[in-house]
């Protein structure tokens, strides 16, 4: 009996000591870890996310990437490829803008759907040929994984110049859309454009 009491007493003592020491232990582990700079959403660098968040309403932001693998000799080629992809990203957004403008125009005009599609394609083709020369690279950076990220901007004022020339060519192709004026519809179309989408990482 005395032996059993001794065992119970020893166990109780250990429990009391363990409970008493727990707060001190948790205090030690609760000390803050050193702050670390975290990457952006989905592995996208912060400066890329910031470019979208801080862009004004009259600017389209295009993102281009290229995997250099950390090879410095590939930077020049990578920049060219990333610029091409950023322009393609802007072109994709412009296509959406053009579609919105032509759709709105068709709803208030006598332009039939088939002519509207042809007109939209003509403007898109003319803009593609213009190569978005008014677009400009605003930031470029290579991350720890050897991926070069490039941010390009295309302002509404530059788009207006390209649109003016593009719609002139499109009107010749589709005379029924002669009354179409892209500049009158750009504000609404730019505001509707959400932009963004997944950022592709090139090879």
Which tens digits make up the pLDDT trace of 168-182? 989 999 999 999 988
Structure tokens at 162: 């390209």
Instruction: Report the pLDDT value the prediction gives residue 186, as an integer from 0 to 100.
Output: 83
Per-residue b or e along 101-127, where b marks 16 or more CB atoms closer than 10 Å to that residue's CB = bbeebbeeeebeeebbebbbbbbbebb
What residues contact residue 78 under an 8 Å CB cut-off, 6+ apart? Answer: 66, 67, 68, 148
What is the pLDDT at residue 199?
Answer: 60
Residue 129's alpha-carbon distances to 91, 122, 123, 126, 169, in angstroms, are 11, 11, 10, 5, 11
Q: Residue 48: exposed, middle, or buried by beta-carbon count in 10 A (0-12, 13-18, 19+)?
A: buried
Rounded to whole angstroms, the Cα distance separating 152 from 133 reads: 12
Q: How confident is the model at residue 184 (pLDDT cuts 50, 70, 90)?
A: confident
**Over the stretch 3-29, which tens digit does the pLDDT of each residue have?**
333 433 333 333 333 444 444 433 333
**What does the pLDDT look like over 104-147, one tens digit per residue?**
899 888 889 999 999 999 998 888 888 788 899 999 999 988 99
Within a 13 Å sphere around the CA of 95, how many CA atoms are in the beta-carbon half?
11
Whole-number average pLDDT of the chain: 77
Per-residue pLDDT at 197: 56
pLDDT value at residue 102: 92
Average pLDDT (85-109) is 90
pLDDT value of position 24: 42
HSE of 15 in the Cβ direction (CA atoms, 13 Å)? 6
Helix runs in 30-155, H state only: 46-54, 75-107, 113-130
Tokens of 98: 């053009």
CA dihedral 202, 200, 97, 140 (to 10 degrees): -70
Q: Are 163 and 183 in contact (CB under 8 A)?
A: yes
Question: What's the CA gap between 139 and 21, in Å, rounded?
Answer: 54
Q: What is the pTM of this model?
A: 0.71
CB-based contact 189:97 (threshold 8 Å): yes
Give residue 33's pLDDT: 31
pLDDT at 150 > cutoff 50: yes
User: Is 71 a residue whose pLDDT tops 70?
Assistant: yes
């Amino acid at each position: 009996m005395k032996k059993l009491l001794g065992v119970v007493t020893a166990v109780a003592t250990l429990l009391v000591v363990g409970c008493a020491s727990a707060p001190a232990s948790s205090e030690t582990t609760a000390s803050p870890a050193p702050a670390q700079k975290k990457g952006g959403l989905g592995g996208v660098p912060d400066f890329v996310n910031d470019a979208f968040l801080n862009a004004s309403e009259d600017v389209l932001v295009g993102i281009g990437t290229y995997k250099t693998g950390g090879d410095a000799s590939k930077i020049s080629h990578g920049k060219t490829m990333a610029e091409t992809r950023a322009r393609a990203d802007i072109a994709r957004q412009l296509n959406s803008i053009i579609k919105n403008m032509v759709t709105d125009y068709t709803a208030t005009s006598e332009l039939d759907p088939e002519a509207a599609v042809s007109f939209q394609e003509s403007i898109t083709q003319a803009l593609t040929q213009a190569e978005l020369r008014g677009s400009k690279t605003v930031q470029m950076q290579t991350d720890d994984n050897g991926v070069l990220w490039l941010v390009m901007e295309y302002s509404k004022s530059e788009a207006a110049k390209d649109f003016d020339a593009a719609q002139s060519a499109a009107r010749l192709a589709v005379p029924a859309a002669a009354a179409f004026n892209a500049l009158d519809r750009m504000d609404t179309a730019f505001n509707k454009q959400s932009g963004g989408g997944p950022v592709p990482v090139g090879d």
